[in-house]
Protein backbone atom coordinates (compact mmCIF):
# COMPACT_ATOMS: atom_id res chain seq x y z
CA UNK A 1 0.00 0.00 0.00
CA UNK A 2 1.50 3.39 -0.99
CA UNK A 3 2.23 5.90 1.74
CA UNK A 4 -0.13 8.89 2.10
CA UNK A 5 1.17 12.17 0.61
CA UNK A 6 2.31 13.80 3.93
CA UNK A 7 4.62 10.85 4.68
CA UNK A 8 6.28 10.71 1.29
CA UNK A 9 9.43 12.64 0.50
CA UNK A 10 9.40 15.64 -1.78
CA UNK A 11 11.70 15.41 -4.80
CA UNK A 12 14.45 17.92 -5.53
CA UNK A 13 15.78 18.04 -9.10
CA UNK A 14 19.02 19.91 -9.77
CA UNK A 15 20.46 20.97 -13.11
CA UNK A 16 24.08 21.92 -12.31
CA UNK A 17 26.07 24.72 -13.89
CA UNK A 18 25.90 28.51 -13.99
CA UNK A 19 22.69 28.45 -16.02
CA UNK A 20 21.23 25.61 -13.93
CA UNK A 21 18.40 25.49 -11.47
CA UNK A 22 16.58 23.70 -8.68
CA UNK A 23 13.05 22.30 -8.71
CA UNK A 24 11.31 21.10 -5.55
CA UNK A 25 8.39 18.88 -6.50
CA UNK A 26 5.71 17.46 -4.24
CA UNK A 27 5.26 13.66 -4.26
CA UNK A 28 2.02 14.05 -6.27
CA UNK A 29 3.80 16.27 -8.82
CA UNK A 30 1.27 19.10 -8.66
CA UNK A 31 3.17 21.57 -6.47
CA UNK A 32 6.61 22.92 -7.22
CA UNK A 33 9.07 25.66 -6.39
CA UNK A 34 11.85 26.78 -8.72
CA UNK A 35 15.14 28.57 -8.08
CA UNK A 36 17.88 29.63 -10.49
CA UNK A 37 21.42 28.53 -9.63
CA UNK A 38 22.75 31.06 -7.08
CA UNK A 39 25.76 32.92 -8.44
CA UNK A 40 28.21 35.45 -7.08
CA UNK A 41 30.58 37.12 -9.48
CA UNK A 42 29.42 34.77 -12.25
CA UNK A 43 30.35 31.64 -10.27
CA UNK A 44 28.24 29.15 -8.34
CA UNK A 45 28.04 30.40 -4.73
CA UNK A 46 28.31 27.73 -1.99
CA UNK A 47 27.02 30.08 0.73
CA UNK A 48 23.86 30.85 -1.24
CA UNK A 49 23.42 27.14 -2.06
CA UNK A 50 23.60 26.32 1.67
CA UNK A 51 21.00 29.03 2.36
CA UNK A 52 18.80 27.62 -0.40
CA UNK A 53 19.10 24.10 1.07
CA UNK A 54 18.00 25.47 4.47
CA UNK A 55 14.95 27.06 2.81
CA UNK A 56 14.14 23.79 1.02
CA UNK A 57 14.48 21.82 4.26
CA UNK A 58 12.11 24.27 5.98
CA UNK A 59 9.55 23.82 3.20
CA UNK A 60 9.75 20.01 3.35
CA UNK A 61 10.20 19.39 7.08
CA UNK A 62 12.35 16.40 6.12
CA UNK A 63 15.12 16.00 3.56
CA UNK A 64 13.86 15.68 -0.01
CA UNK A 65 15.05 12.86 -2.23
CA UNK A 66 17.54 14.70 -4.42
CA UNK A 67 18.30 13.92 -8.07
CA UNK A 68 21.28 15.74 -9.62
CA UNK A 69 22.18 15.59 -13.30
CA UNK A 70 25.53 13.81 -13.42
CA UNK A 71 28.38 15.98 -14.64
CA UNK A 72 30.08 14.84 -17.81
CA UNK A 73 33.15 16.07 -19.64
CA UNK A 74 32.71 16.90 -23.31
CA UNK A 75 35.60 16.91 -25.80
CA UNK A 76 34.84 20.53 -26.67
CA UNK A 77 35.01 21.80 -23.07
CA UNK A 78 38.06 23.80 -22.02
CA UNK A 79 40.11 22.85 -18.97
CA UNK A 80 39.53 26.11 -17.08
CA UNK A 81 35.78 26.08 -17.70
CA UNK A 82 35.48 22.45 -16.65
CA UNK A 83 37.48 23.09 -13.48
CA UNK A 84 35.05 25.84 -12.49
CA UNK A 85 32.06 23.68 -13.49
CA UNK A 86 33.17 20.70 -11.38
CA UNK A 87 33.96 22.95 -8.41
CA UNK A 88 30.38 24.29 -8.55
CA UNK A 89 29.08 20.76 -9.08
CA UNK A 90 30.82 19.64 -5.90
CA UNK A 91 29.01 22.33 -3.88
CA UNK A 92 25.70 20.67 -4.76
CA UNK A 93 26.71 17.62 -2.73
CA UNK A 94 26.98 19.47 0.59
CA UNK A 95 23.61 17.85 1.38
CA UNK A 96 25.62 14.71 2.19
CA UNK A 97 26.70 16.53 5.36
CA UNK A 98 23.06 16.39 6.51
CA UNK A 99 22.38 12.83 5.27
CA UNK A 100 20.06 13.91 2.46
CA UNK A 101 19.46 11.08 0.01
CA UNK A 102 21.08 12.05 -3.30
CA UNK A 103 21.14 10.29 -6.67
CA UNK A 104 23.24 11.23 -9.70
CA UNK A 105 21.35 10.77 -12.98
CA UNK A 106 23.16 10.76 -16.34
CA UNK A 107 21.51 13.17 -18.81
CA UNK A 108 20.84 10.33 -21.26
CA UNK A 109 18.94 8.36 -18.59
CA UNK A 110 16.43 11.05 -17.64
CA UNK A 111 16.11 12.27 -21.23
CA UNK A 112 15.34 8.78 -22.55
CA UNK A 113 12.52 8.29 -20.02
CA UNK A 114 11.07 11.79 -20.07
CA UNK A 115 11.29 12.23 -23.86
CA UNK A 116 9.78 8.82 -24.67
CA UNK A 117 7.09 9.15 -27.32
CA UNK A 118 8.31 12.56 -28.51
CA UNK A 119 9.85 13.17 -31.94
CA UNK A 120 13.48 12.03 -31.65
CA UNK A 121 14.49 14.37 -34.48
CA UNK A 122 13.76 17.35 -32.24
CA UNK A 123 16.52 18.93 -30.17
CA UNK A 124 16.43 17.61 -26.55
CA UNK A 125 15.57 21.10 -25.20
CA UNK A 126 12.63 21.28 -27.62
CA UNK A 127 11.45 17.85 -26.45
CA UNK A 128 11.59 19.08 -22.85
CA UNK A 129 9.61 22.19 -23.81
CA UNK A 130 6.98 20.00 -25.48
CA UNK A 131 6.75 17.70 -22.44
CA UNK A 132 6.29 20.66 -20.10
CA UNK A 133 3.72 22.29 -22.39
CA UNK A 134 1.71 19.04 -22.41
CA UNK A 135 2.02 18.05 -18.75
CA UNK A 136 2.37 21.38 -16.93
CA UNK A 137 0.72 23.96 -19.24
CA UNK A 138 0.54 26.61 -16.49
CA UNK A 139 4.34 26.52 -16.25
CA UNK A 140 4.71 26.87 -20.01
CA UNK A 141 3.37 30.41 -20.09
CA UNK A 142 5.26 33.67 -20.24
CA UNK A 143 5.40 35.14 -16.76
CA UNK A 144 5.39 31.77 -14.98
CA UNK A 145 8.32 31.02 -12.62
CA UNK A 146 9.85 28.87 -15.36
CA UNK A 147 9.43 31.55 -18.04
CA UNK A 148 10.42 34.99 -16.74
CA UNK A 149 8.84 37.93 -18.63
CA UNK A 150 12.02 39.15 -20.35
CA UNK A 151 12.94 35.76 -21.82
CA UNK A 152 11.94 34.51 -25.27
CA UNK A 153 11.73 30.89 -24.04
CA UNK A 154 11.48 29.16 -20.66
CA UNK A 155 14.69 29.22 -18.58
CA UNK A 156 16.55 26.06 -19.68
CA UNK A 157 18.11 25.39 -16.28
CA UNK A 158 14.74 25.56 -14.54
CA UNK A 159 13.18 23.49 -17.29
CA UNK A 160 15.84 20.78 -16.92
CA UNK A 161 15.59 20.90 -13.12
CA UNK A 162 11.85 20.23 -13.43
CA UNK A 163 12.43 17.38 -15.89
CA UNK A 164 15.03 15.81 -13.55
CA UNK A 165 12.68 16.20 -10.55
CA UNK A 166 9.77 14.68 -12.49
CA UNK A 167 12.03 11.82 -13.61
CA UNK A 168 12.94 11.22 -9.95
CA UNK A 169 9.31 11.45 -8.86
CA UNK A 170 8.19 8.91 -11.45
CA UNK A 171 11.12 6.61 -10.63
CA UNK A 172 10.35 6.83 -6.90
CA UNK A 173 6.56 6.81 -6.88
CA UNK A 174 5.82 5.18 -10.27
CA UNK A 175 3.32 7.64 -11.61
CA UNK A 176 3.21 10.51 -14.08
CA UNK A 177 1.34 13.81 -13.94
Average pLDDT over all residues of the chain: 86
pLDDT band at 102 (very low <50, low <70, confident <90, very high): very high
DSSP string, 83-152: HHHHHHHHHGGGGGGGT--EEEE-HHHHHHHHTTTS-TTS-HHHHHHHHHHHH-GGGSSTTSTTS-TT-S
> Rounded to whole angstroms, how far apart are CA atoms 56 and 49?
10
- Of all residues in the chain, the percent with pLDDT exceeding 90 is 57
Beta bridge partners of 23: 13, 34
The average pLDDT across 10-25 equals: 94
| pTM score, whole prediction | 0.88
Going by pLDDT thresholds of 50, 70 and 90, the confidence category of residue 99 is: confident
| Calculated CA dihedral for residues 125, 128, 130, 136, nearest 10 degrees | -140
Domain 5-173: give its CATH code. 3.30.420.10
Q: 94-117 burial by CB neighbour count: b if 16+ within 10 A, else e? A: ebeeeebebeebebeebbeebbee
> How large is the average pLDDT for residues 43-67?
92
Nearest to 169 by CA among 133, 136, 126: 136
> Is 69 within 8 Å of 14 (Cβ atoms)?
yes
Amino acid sequence: MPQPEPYRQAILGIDPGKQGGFCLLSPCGKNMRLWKMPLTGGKVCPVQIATLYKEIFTLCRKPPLTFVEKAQVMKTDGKVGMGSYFKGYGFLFMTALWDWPIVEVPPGTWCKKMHAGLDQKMHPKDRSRKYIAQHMPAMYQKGSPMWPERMQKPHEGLMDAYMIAEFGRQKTYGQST
